[in-house]
Chain A
């Protein structure tokens, strides 16, 4: 592996260390964006989805990792 590829791989690893968690976070953001678009009169609903979705994803990921 070239030093450049090595650096790029380490850089992407800063954000995508655990694939399941990264996918879950992006899914939560997408869901919150959908809620914000579909229910503009309820902007806090998107915030709730985002906050509690991220908290849930983190907790679920840690527990699942512990069980593996």
Chain B
């Protein structure tokens, strides 16, 4: 029986992280579909999903062969690098030091790039458009796979974390197909802020476990770490905020 206190942070981190990645991937796929139609966009996306499935099938069984402490340490360090990178960017965006990620702008930029390629190389456009779709799905999908493994592998929570990620991808896909345009209203920086906090907390926890640290409260320590990362991140935003910066909701 999986404890709710253990599963909830892992499932919510996988869900929110996957939500952000799915929005980014779908923006590119929609841009490709707008310029070249659904065939190259869909084929590229399907090829990306197929490649992801092959990677997961090939590497998944290896996870069970790695000693638990080594797995915790490696995943913990990678999570710290990955999560704190997200959190740093989210802080800088919330503070107005770097521009917010704009899906509408990303959509326009990808569309313009494909139009430009169309003028130069009409014959190769379908292939290039499909490749753009493939790359977006593969790269963003790899981030989703990493998040799921990172938050789920150490405590046997791969299935709940995968379900959280799949729910997020299904939700974003359904919403984008309903709207037929990029999901520009998703509060992406707030999501990245929250996911960065959670992944950094998980990273600290797993790295410590890998080093043999007996965290007080065991899994509950993750919630305490997340609270500490949140306080420090909000303090950093307050310290570096520029006047025109968008307030964190």
Contacts and interface: CB of A to CB of B under 8 A. Distances in A.
What's the interface size class on B, roughly? Answer: 35 or more
Given A51-B225, A66-B97, A32 B207 contact: yes
Contacts of B139: 7, 10-11
Contact of B213 (A11, A44, A59, A61): A44
A33 B213 CA distance: 10
Interface stretch (B1-9, B81-89, B105-113, B154-162): B81-89
Chain A interface SS verdict (over half): helix
B204 A21 contact: no
Contact of B146 (A6, A7, A14, A32): A14
A21 B91 CA distance: 14
Given A7-B138, A21-B88, A66-B239, A55 B143 contact: no
Contacts, number: 109
A50 to B, nearest CB: 5
Contacts of B225: 51
Contacts of A57: 84
Q: In the complex, which range does the number of interface residues on chain A fall in?
A: 20 to 34
A62 B92 contact: yes
Interface of B: 77-78, 80-82, 84-85, 87-89, 91-92, 95, 97, 131, 135, 138-139, 142-143, 146, 200, 203-204, 207-208, 211-216, 225, 228-229, 232-233, 235-236, 239-240
* CB-CB nearest 7 A-B residue pairs: A66-B240, A47-B213, A15-B81, A62-B236, A36-B211, A17-B85, A47-B208
Interface of A: 3, 6-7, 10-11, 14-18, 21-22, 25-26, 29, 32-33, 36, 43-44, 46-47, 50-51, 54-55, 57-59, 61-63, 65-66
27 contacts: A11-B139, A11-B142, A14-B85, A14-B143, A15-B78, A17-B89, A18-B88, A21-B84, A21-B85, A25-B81, A26-B77, A29-B80, A29-B207, A32-B211, A33-B211, A36-B213, A46-B212, A47-B211, A51-B204, A54-B200, A55-B228, A57-B84, A58-B87, A58-B229, A59-B232, A59-B235, A62-B240
